[in-house]
Amino acid sequence: MKNTRSAPPLRWLGNSMRLLHTSDWHIGRTLYGRKRYEEFEAFLTWLAETIQQNEIDALLVAGDVFDTSAPSNRAQELYYRFLCRVAASSCRHVVVVAGNHDSPSFLNAPKELLKALDVHVVGSSTESLEDEVLVLRNEQDAPELIVCAVPYLRDRDIRVAEAGESVEDKERKLIDGIRTHYAAVAALAEQKREELGVDIPIVGTGHLFTAGGQTVDGDGVRELYVGTLAHVTAGIFPANFDYLALGHLHVPQKVNGSETIRYSGSPLPMGFGEAKQQKSVCQVEFHSTSASVQLVDVPMFQKLERVKGDWDGISSRILELSATDSQGWLEVIYDGIEVIGDLRERLEEAISGTQMEILRIKNTRIIDRVLGQIHEEETLDDLNVNDVFERCLAVHEVPEDQRPELLRAYQETVSSLYEDDVQAE
């Protein structure tokens, strides 16, 4: 006979909890060939100091710790040194989930060792939901937080492919798979909270693209799945999450206006399109299960500047920057009427004697007027993988009516390559 007795009321322990939400570090990322390890090190030093100064109890990292699935030794050193420093601080817990750029097996490899430091790593979804639902306890061994540590959900984790299914069927299965996964981990978290009998917060993580999410050009944010429907809506997330820490989009933002469903954004500008963006991390304070959020601004560790205009405007701006002893990295986009064939030489002369460095020059006037946007100045950095494929279709004169299906097949192939875990074997 089914037990119909209601669960006993949850007890509030009466203490507050403060956590910090960050994501998309992309340690090891370069900018037009320029290595940025000094910036990553400066950020991680700042983050460790902020955790100590703001008396943070738990740190959540919502994916894309590294920029590639095979990070360099220096990138790994920065990561592990930071974790050791935080583990020795007043911060009691660290939860790291994988993003689409991370290798699940690489992140997972030291997870048992890191667990001894109260650093919890979830590199991929597994058959056991228990692996993703973490009950975190304080020094007195009392439960204080439940984290649904959901990593980036790969296509094969949430959808079974079937022969002959339509694009719409694939997209619908993806959305249903994401919804079902979140519902399951949230239900398990709620069950654990009731069993514990204490009114502690439930926090979720995710690494995905929500509908209406804001991006900027050059940020390197790639589509996670083939098809536009795989931008999930806020309604897909369970209502019992007291806060949802998201990663993948680099612009700090709320989802659907919600104070408690947020992207922290990347802490460093990933490209010149983010140069004027104020970067931040999210500080979340809980009193019982009620969350209040404030943004903590991240300092600019390396000045980036996009200089755009005709020659007079560009040279004037460079003069202004040199007067301030700028050490900035510049992207110069020339769009004046005059065709300037020696633009690079002029720019090198303009910054001579300064501490500025030009990382990229784009001479749109030559590109537009002379060679119809196919020119030696246009590099692969200006194109994404879809652009390159479409150029190939055009060069080989593939009929227009065949191109959409070929492009979609190509996108599925590229997506499957991104999802292969090259570190697994």
Contact 201, 260 (CB under 8 A): no
pLDDT of residue 111: 93
CA distance 264 to 195: 32
pLDDT one digit per residue (tens) for the chain, 425 residues: 444 444 556 655 556 899 999 999 999 999 999 999 999 999 999 999 999 999 999 999 999 999 999 999 999 999 999 999 999 999 999 999 999 999 999 999 999 999 999 999 999 988 889 999 999 999 899 999 999 999 999 887 777 666 666 767 777 888 888 999 999 999 999 999 999 998 899 999 999 988 766 766 655 565 554 454 457 788 889 999 999 999 999 999 999 889 999 999 999 999 998 888 999 999 999 988 888 999 999 999 999 999 999 999 999 999 999 999 999 999 999 988 888 878 899 999 999 999 999 999 988 765 554 444 444 445 555 666 677 777 777 766 777 776 777 777 676 666 555 555 555 55
Amino acid at 358: I
Give the integer Cα–Cα distance in Å for 22 and 285: 15
280 SS3 class? strand
Give the span between the Cα atoms of 276 and 28, in whole angstroms: 22
Type of residue numbered 51: I
pLDDT 10s digits, 334-364: 988 888 878 899 999 999 999 999 999 988 7
Please give the Cα distance from 238 to 259 (Å, whole number).
Answer: 15
> What is the pLDDT, as a whole number, of residue 3?
44
Using the structure block, give the residue that is written with the tokens 């369970």: 238
- What are residue 48's phi and psi, to 5 degrees? -60, -40
> What is 159-200 written as a DSSP string?
----TT--HHHHHHHHHHHHHHHHHHHHHHHHHHHHHHTB--
Cα 234 from chain centre: 18
Architecture of domain 16-297: 4-Layer Sandwich (3.60)
Looking at residue 339, the DSSP 8-state letter turns out to be -
Q: Give the model confidence (pLDDT) of 262-288 as tens digits.
A: 999 999 999 998 888 999 999 999 988
Domain edges within the chain? 16-297, 304-419
What letter does residue 380 receive in the DSSP assignment?
G
Distance between CA atoms of 390 and 414, rounded to whole angstroms? 14
Neighbours of 413 (CB within 10 A): 12
Q: Name the burial class of residue 223, with classes exposed (0-12), middle (13-18) and buried (19+) by CB atoms within 10 angstroms of its CB.
A: middle
- Whose tokens are 């460095």? That residue is 357
CA 234 to each of CA 154, 347, 375: distance values in angstroms, whole numbers, following the listed order: 19, 47, 43
Rg for the chain, CA atoms, rounded: 24
Q: For tokens 């560790």, what's the residue?
A: 301
Residues counted in the chain = 425
The domain defined by 304-419 folds into Double Stranded RNA Binding Domain (3.30.160)
Instruction: Please report, as a single letter, which amino acid is at residue 244.
Output: L
Q: Using CA atoms, how far apart are residues 354 and 31, in angstroms rounded to an integer? A: 20
Asked if 262 and 212 count as a contact pair (C-beta separation under 8 A), the reply is no
